[in-house]
């Protein structure tokens, strides 16, 4: 059953939602390609977007889209839904989709919490939250996307056994996420006692990671929906 979209606060961006003029080619793709692969702005069934999909994956905050496009390219049998509020990031992502001829990507330009609210219960097989806005000052921690209420919504839309990967290069955000995700009985670590700074075999390094803007090496937290 689809859950009515829950109210939430306004979207706050750690950076600007648009940093520079979009290149003409990318703007043309925003005008022509994006409308054809956009997620409906209402409750929807993911498999209506790609009936032949074997699984449905969701990436929250895909940045420039490199990770999302690479994962979609590896698994053409999987529907990959991505959400990103940053206009330049969406422009970059649609370029990746066009250049790689990806037919299994659907995009929401805007708040990922809206997409989660539109999704039916137990409809997602895999979730990525890769290097979200850190909001590392204590007074801004409440703006982080990982909050108890959102963790509960993620638990609702993930199937039992679904994988949830969170990555950050801020040590405090890693601890913050572990505390809040594992506080929910719906989640557990995929593996105990592993090196959480070891790069997962299926990870795709992005330009953001290479900038090393955080205060630690990337931390990868792999959870499972119980």
Q: Which of 71, 107, 69, 85 is nearest to 19 (CA)?
A: 85
Residue 133 marked in a binding site: yes
Residue 149 marked in a binding site: no
In angstroms, the CA 186 to CA 19 distance is: 38
Give me 122's structure tokens: 């137990």
Residue 207 marked in a binding site: yes
Give me 214's structure tokens: 């955080």
Characterise 218 by phi-psi region: left (phi > 0), alpha (psi -120 to 50), beta (else).
beta
Q: Which residues are catalytic?
A: 133
Residue the block writes with tokens 């993911």: 46
Residue 206 marked in a binding site: yes
Please count the helices (runs of H) and the strands (runs of E) in the chain. Answer: 9, 7
* 151 phi, psi to nearest 5 deg: -60, -40
Residue 137 marked in a binding site: yes
Give me 71's structure tokens: 């994962």
In angstroms, the CA 145 to CA 134 distance is: 9
Residue 208 marked in a binding site: yes
Pair 178, 93: CB distance under 8 Å: no
Residue 84 marked in a binding site: yes
In terms of C-beta density within 10 A (0-12 exposed, 13-18 middle, 19 or more buried), how is residue 92 classed? buried
Give me 90's structure tokens: 């969406």
- Give the residue ranges of the annotated binding site for substrate: 137, 169, 206-209
- Give the residue ranges of the annotated binding site for S-adenosyl-L-methionine: 59, 84, 111, 133
- Give the residue ranges of the annotated binding site: 59, 84, 111, 133, 137, 169, 206-209
């Amino acid at each position: 059953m689809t859950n009515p979209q829950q109210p939430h606060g306004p979207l706050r961006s750690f950076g600007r939602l648009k940093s520079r003029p979009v290149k003409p080619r990318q703007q043309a793709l925003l005008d022509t390609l994006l409308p054809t692969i956009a997620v409906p702005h209402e409750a929807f069934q993911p498999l209506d977007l790609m009936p032949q999909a074997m699984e449905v994956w969701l990436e929250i905050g895909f940045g420039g889209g490199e990770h999302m496009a690479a994962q979609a390219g590896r698994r053409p049998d999987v529907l990959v839904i991505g959400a990103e509020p940053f206009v330049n990031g969406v422009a970059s992502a649609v370029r990746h989709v066009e250049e790689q001829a990806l037919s299994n990507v659907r995009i929401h330009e805007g708040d990922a919490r809206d997409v989660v609210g539109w999704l039916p219960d137990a409809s997602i097989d895999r979730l990525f939250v890769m290097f979200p806005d850190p909001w590392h000052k204590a007074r801004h921690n409440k703006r982080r996307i990982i909050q108890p209420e959102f963790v509960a919504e993620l638990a609702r839309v993930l199937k039992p056994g679904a994988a949830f990967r969170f990555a950050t290069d801020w040590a405090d955000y890693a601890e913050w996420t572990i505390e809040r995700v594992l506080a929910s009985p719906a989640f557990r670590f995929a593996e105990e006692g592993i090196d959480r700074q070891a790069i997962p075999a299926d990870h795709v390094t992005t330009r953001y990671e290479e900038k090393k803007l955080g205060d630690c090496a990337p931390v990868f937290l792999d959870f499972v929906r119980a």
